[in-house]
Amino acid sequence: MDNATYCYSTDYTPLTTGKGGRKAAHTAIHMGAGSDKVPQDYLVWSLCNFLYVNFCCLGFFALLYSIKARDQKTLGNLREARENSEKAKWYNILASGWNCLVPLMIGAVVVLLVLYMRSSEGSLPSLFGEEGFQRFIKHFSQ
């Protein structure tokens, strides 16, 4: 657009004090109290828990509540979104705890088996059966 054809209104409000001596205009935005804060939906965390181990469908439930929280947040129903967000958070905490606990337990069993196999009385065939289990327990209880 060329400057010769551009028309602007002569009635304008400057942002700073100018030659006219008028004060600058300002706008205040009320953000609301802390309780009106938009809740998180924990969707990425829920997806990770859903795709990994997912014991007793905890990750699936977390994903469902995360999607519900996001939908309610989009609709503007913050109370319902906050409730679903809390449920998603707790399901994610439970699923993450389980997802960390299982590999630790498997690792502990593997370490105990390796230590037992390296001992003088340990061998794989002697581990099976009631007698082998009793020897295994007795070996580590000393």
Q: Using one digit for the tens of pLDDT, what is the confidence trace for 80-113?
A: 999 999 999 999 999 999 888 888 999 998 888 8
Please tell me the distance from the alpha carbon of residue 113 to that of residue 4, in angstroms, as a whole number: 88
Q: Rounded to an integer, what distance in angstroms lies between the CA atom of residue 72 and that of residue 14?
A: 41
| Alpha-carbon gap, residue 136 to 124, rounded angstroms | 11
Single pTM value for the model: 0.58
Name the residue among 90, 108, 113, 109 with its Cα closest to residue 42. Answer: 90
pLDDT digits (tens, 9 = 90+) for 14-69: 555 556 555 656 676 655 555 568 899 899 999 999 998 677 889 999 999 999 99
pLDDT at position 60? 94
Residue 8: HSE in the Cβ half-sphere, 13 Å Cα cutoff: 8
CB burial of residue 17 (10 Å; 0-12, 13-18, 19+): exposed
How far is 120 from 89, CA to CA, in rounded Å?
A: 49
